[in-house]
Chains A and B, each alone.
Chain A
Amino acid sequence: MTAIVADVGRCVGAGQCVLTDPDAFDQSEEDGTVIVLQDSPSDDEALKRAQVAVDICPSRALSLTQ
């Protein structure tokens, strides 16, 4: 199963993942870094959104693993 992995150390809090899928991602109130709300995409549409989030993450903090 595909899993969404976030490297909080790399994250710069741009929030592009939250804009892409607010059900899957959130940001820490304190320092804006990513919080993954759904560890794996629930369906194909969610997977597509996760792929966009990975592609547009400016600090390359997100990845998908099998």
Chain B
Amino acid sequence: MTAPALQTTRQCPYAPPEEHTRIRDTDSGISRVTLPSGQVAWALSRLEHIRAMLTDPRFSSDRRDPNFPRFTREQPSFDIMRRSIIQMDPPEHGPARKAVVGEFTVRRMAGLRPRIQEIVDEHIDAMLAGPRPADLVQALSLPVPSLVICEQLGVPYHDHDFFQVRSSALLSRATTAEGRRQAVTELCDYLKDLIAKKAAEPTDDLLGRQLAQGNDPEDVLSLAFLLLIAGHETTANMISLGVVTLLERPEELAALRADPARTLPAIEELLRVYTIAEFANSRVAVEDVEIGGVTIRAGDPVLAMSNAANHDPAAFDDADEIKLDRGARNHVAFGFGIHQCLGQNLARMELQIVFDTLLRRIPGLRLATPADKLSYKDDVLIYGIHEVPVTWEDPA
């Protein structure tokens, strides 16, 4: 069977690729697409269908299933590490997630606030002391989430460059199969060594506590790998995209600066319109399932086009407009179902502190390159911006 290739290039940074919108507006909202792997997958595009799929146990997250949707031509090798929680189905998944989710509760995240504020202030100090224009990505977007996740896990920060390079390689579609294997192997070797040290000399950090709870070091390794990759680039890209969006909207920016209670709703809207991990919600059917009048057969790969769903007019009024006070939280930017992002409350808090602090401390911040001339990441799995030159006026 032939099906058109999945399109991944966005014509507008805060809109889904036009092809996804076209599929969403067909009668069923469901179509067949050919993935970069050559697999033919069902593509879901409506919020209702995607939420139904992600809460239905007849769809599996097991990436070892050869029919699981892939963005790489080669089958990834799975012998290097045990499965992490995002690859598990019930009943294995529940206990494994519960063993770590206590580290990410809303209250635990609130406890991190003073330290995250300190990290953000230090990086803004350094940026203000440096030359103009500065690249916001290198000055703030990348180092803040990187430092936060490294401290939380108990990874020495002087190794964060090591992680940066390898996680970027893993997320880039341009990386060769060999490059990908090498990055995984090097990250894995590093983490194995770190976990062995923590097993010998217990430390009071996430990885140390996982070991102290009696979790198998092999499982802690898979968890560490997942959290480091997930915690590096995602929040960084949302910081960059969010700051650009705010700087392009001076009136709304002024409203945010005047009332910090507006920041969290604005973050939800930014998460919705950018949907940076738009292809993260893939599954494989393990039984025949009917969705929207279409029968998906057992063994069929299924891809959620989450960005199209987050712009679904059936779910959001004026769905294509950015309304920073919309306050809608029914989007699937962090996924949905039992695998919904473990770090979402950490991400929200980091974004809130970064936006509030930037607006307060650098009221004269502006883009040094117009938003439409920036280099957006159409070549990687997680959407974002490569570089954001910013400058600022000295306070009067």
Residues of chain A at the chain B interface (Cβ within 8 Å): 9, 12-16, 18-20, 22, 26-33, 52, 55-56, 58-60
Question: Considering the complex, which residues of chain B in the window 101-119 have a beta carbon less than 8 Å from any beta carbon of chain A?
Answer: 101-102, 104-107
Q: A52-B329, A59-B55 are in contact. Are A15 and B105 (CB under 8 A)?
A: yes
Contact with A along B339-358 (1 / 0, CB 8 A): 01100110010000000000
Q: Given contacts A19-B345, A27-B107, A52-B329, are A58 and B102 in contact (CB under 8 A)?
A: no
Residues in B265-280 with C-beta less than 8 Å from chain A? none
- A30 to B97 Cα, complex, angstroms: 12
Kindly provide the distance from the CB of A32 to the nearest chain B CB, expressed in whole angstroms: 4
State whether B104 touches A15 (Cβ < 8 A): yes
Q: Using known A-B contacts A19-B345, A32-B101, determine if residue A12 contacts B338 with beta carbons closer than 8 Å.
A: yes
Cross-interface CB contact of B337 among A15, A52, A55, A59, cutoff 8 Å: A59
B330, CB-defined interface residue at 8 Å: yes
Question: Roughly how many angstroms separate A65 CA and B133 CA in the complex, as a whole number?
Answer: 57
Chain B nearest CB, measured from A10 CB (Å): 8
* B55 surroundings in chain A (CB, below 8 A): 58-60
Q: Which of B102, B106, B337, B341 contacts A31 (CB 8 A)?
A: B102
The answer, yes or no, to whether B158 is at the interface (CB within 8 Å) is: no
Once the chains bind, are B338 and A15 in contact (CB under 8 Å)?
A: no
What B residues does A32 contact at CB under 8 A?
98, 101-102, 104-105
**Which chain A positions have C-beta within 8 A of B384?**
none
How far is A31 from B338 in the complex, measured between Cα atoms in Å? 14
Residue from A18, A33, A56, A58 in contact with B338 in the complex, judged by beta carbons closer than 8 Å = A58
Cross-chain pair count, CB within 8 angstroms: 70
Smallest beta-carbon distance A34→chain B, Å: 10
B29 at the interface (CB under 8 A from A): no
**B335 is an interface residue with CB less than 8 A from chain A:** yes
Given contacts A13-B105, A58-B335, whether A31 and B98 have CB atoms under 8 Å apart is yes
B338 touches A30 (CB 8 A): no
The distance in angstroms between the C-alpha atoms of A22 and B377, with both chains bound, is: 37
Specify which chain A residues have a CB less than 8 angstroms from the CB of B348 in the assembled complex: 19
Contact between chains at A30 and B94 (CB < 8 Å)? no
* Chain A interface SS verdict (over half): loop
B392 at the interface (CB under 8 A from A): no
Closest to B344 in A: A14
Contact A15–B106 (Cβ < 8 Å)? yes
A12 to B98 Cα, complex, angstroms = 7
Binding site for A on B (CB under 8 A): 54-55, 94, 97-99, 101-102, 104-107, 329-330, 335-338, 340-341, 344-345, 348
Contacts of A9 in B (CB 8 A): 94
Contact B105 A29 (CB under 8 A): yes
The reply to whether A58 and B340 form a contact with Cβ atoms under 8 Å apart is yes
Nearest chain B residue, comparing its CB with the CB of A15: B106
Chain A residue numbers with a CB within 8 Å of B101 are: 12-14, 31-32
Q: List 16 A-B contacts (CB under 8 A).
A: A12-B101, A14-B344, A15-B106, A15-B345, A16-B329, A16-B340, A18-B107, A19-B329, A20-B329, A27-B102, A27-B106, A31-B99, A32-B98, A58-B54, A58-B336, A59-B337
Find out whether the CB atom of B345 lies under 8 angstroms from the CB atom of A13.
no
CB–CB B98/A58 < 8 A:
no
> Given contacts A19-B345, A20-B329, is CB(A59)–CB(B338) below 8 Å?
yes
Interface contact A56-B330, CB-CB below 8 Å: yes
CB distance from A57 to the nearest CB of B (A): 9
CA of A59 to CA of B341, assembled, Å: 12
**Bound CA span A6–B329, Å:** 20
Residue of A nearest to B107 (CB): A27
Complex Cα–Cα for A20 and B105 (A): 13
Shortest beta-carbon contacts, A-B, top 5? A32-B101, A13-B101, A58-B340, A31-B98, A27-B105
Q: Is A13 in contact with B107, judged by CB distance below 8 angstroms?
A: no
Q: Tell which of B94, B104, B105, B337 touches A58, judged by Cβ atoms closer than 8 Å.
A: B337
Give the distance to chain A from B337, nearest Cβ to Cβ, in Å: 6
For residue B107, which residues in chain A have a CB less than 8 angstroms away from its CB? 18, 26-27, 29
